[in-house]
């Protein structure tokens, strides 16, 4: 950030009165330009014993498999965002969304939230951001080609819960935070 | 938003290629300036049978009672943010944080996330944003003077769960979305 989006004057970093963090502040109109983490919302959607994954047609991690997910938009709920991303990336129609897992990714200023959901039809129609969308049985999940650590973790939790209780009635909400590791690609 | 924070040229709204939403796009350098919801993180912290509330020293809802909570910052996890807000607003030292409830507030582009937590000492030391910080027994909670609907809802869920199971072992993660109502103040 170099300029004020309100008045186009240069911004500089300083700690505003009553605050304790460096912020971008306009040198002219004094507007404070806060920067905060974004939410990524998605689903673990299933049809019978198949789990829905999409193969990425975009960077980062082009060609790798992921759960349908993307940035939460203004004016929508996390549930609506998760449903929308599943529709846009996989062309899937889903219902019965339940919050399933949240994973903080502070080194990229993101919070990833996954719902579990049920596909209402078997129809898939991958969108521009997916090379393909496909249902995988647990034993066929391409673990070596999963795009992001948050997706890997959410899928593992899902399968563990399912094994313990196929109805998910005893499933509790999962939470973890992921730290930066040089051996792993950055989660997006 | 009027000007590009990268090059100070005017921005205008348009739908970028591969997107389906209006975004602020720079007329000169073509940078897309996305705007997304923010997370508010806080805690339901307890000491014995007391629930920690803070009386707001800032607008909106000056003088009303709230759970300690505030905007998630970059470079921190939701758990760290909830702990920090509880420390900053109430001076409380807490531990054992567990995700408890998430409430979407799409009309203000916010997602409110509450952890439950235990105070490690009885010490309170309200910060600049609080007129006072105080422990309330369930029967003494000032329901008519609660600042925000998300706080009201989270407290009700907490007391219901506690009544059913004081150990919270059967407590599941709560989720809801709040719609705009003209009869109620805007949730912050």
| pLDDT for residue B22 is more than 70 | yes
Minimal C-alpha gap between A145 and chain B (Å): 25
Q: Give me the percent of chain B exceeding a pLDDT of 70.
A: 96
Render pLDDT for B56-89 as a digit per residue (tens, 0 to 9). Answer: 999 999 999 999 999 999 999 999 999 999 999 9
Render pLDDT for B30-55 as a digit per residue (tens, 0 to 9). Answer: 999 999 999 999 999 999 999 999 99
Is B7 exposed, middle or buried (CB count within 10 Å of its CB: 0-12, 13-18, 19+)?
middle
Mutation site for A-interface testing, chosen from B10, B174, B175 by largest number of A Cβ within 10 Å: B175
Nearest CA in chain A to B17: A128
Asked if B45 and B53 touch (Cβ cutoff 8 Å), the reply is no
Q: Give me the percent of chain B exceeding a pLDDT of 90.
A: 91
Tokens of A26: 């306009």
**Confidence band (pLDDT; 50, 70, 90) for B188?**
very low
| pLDDT for residue B117 is more than 80 | yes
CA B5, chain centre distance (Å): 28
N- to C-terminal Cα separation, chain A? 21
| pLDDT for residue A2 is more than 80 | yes
What is the sign, positive or negative, of the torsion defined by CA atoms of A177, A180, A184, A187?
positive
**Confidence band (pLDDT; 50, 70, 90) for A149?**
very high
Residues of A with CB under 8 A from a CB of B: 1-8, 11, 18, 21, 33-39, 71-80, 99, 102, 104, 106-107, 109, 111, 113, 128-129, 172-173, 175, 177
Render pLDDT for A35-65 as a digit per residue (tens, 0 to 9). Answer: 999 999 999 999 999 999 999 999 999 999 9
- Residue B172 is predicted with a pLDDT of 86
Instruction: Please state the pTM of the whole predicted model.
Output: 0.94
Contact B77 A11 (CB under 8 A): no
Burial readout A145-181 (b: 16 or more C-beta within 10 A, e: otherwise): ebbbbbbbbbbebbeebbeeeeeeeebbbbbbbbeee
Q: Which residues from chain A sit within 8 angstroms of residue B102, using beta carbons? A: 78, 99, 102, 113
Q: Which residues, in sequence order, are CB contacts of A118 under 8 Å at separation 6+?
A: A45, A46, A47, A94, A95, A96
Tell me the C-alpha distance between A115 and A159, whole Å. 14
Q: Give mean pLDDT, residues B14-24.
A: 94
CA A50, chain centre distance (Å): 20
Q: Give mean pLDDT, residues A140-153.
A: 98
């Amino acid at each position: 950030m170099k300029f004020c989006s309100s008045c186009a004057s240069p911004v500089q970093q300083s700690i505003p009165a009553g605050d304790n963090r460096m912020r971008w502040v306009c040198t002219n109109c004094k507007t404070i330009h806060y920067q905060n983490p974004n939410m990524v919302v998605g689903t673990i959607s299933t049809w019978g014993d198949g789990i829905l994954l999409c193969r990425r047609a975009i960077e980062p991690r082009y060609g790798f498999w992921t759960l349908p997910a993307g940035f939460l938009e203004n004016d929508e709920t996390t549930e609506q965002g998760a449903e929308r991303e599943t529709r846009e990336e996989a062309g899937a129609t889903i219902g019965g969304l339940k919050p399933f897992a949240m994973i903080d990714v502070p080194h990229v200023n993101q919070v990833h939230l996954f719902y579990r959901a049920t596909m209402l039809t078997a129809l898939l129609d991958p969108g521009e951001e997916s090379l393909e969308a496909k249902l995988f049985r647990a034993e066929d999940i391409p673990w070596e080609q999963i795009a992001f650590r948050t997706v890997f973790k959410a899928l593992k939790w899902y399968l563990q819960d399912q094994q313990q209780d196929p109805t998910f009635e005893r499933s509790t909400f999962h939470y973890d935070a992921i730290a930066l590791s040089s051996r792993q690609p950055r989660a997006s």
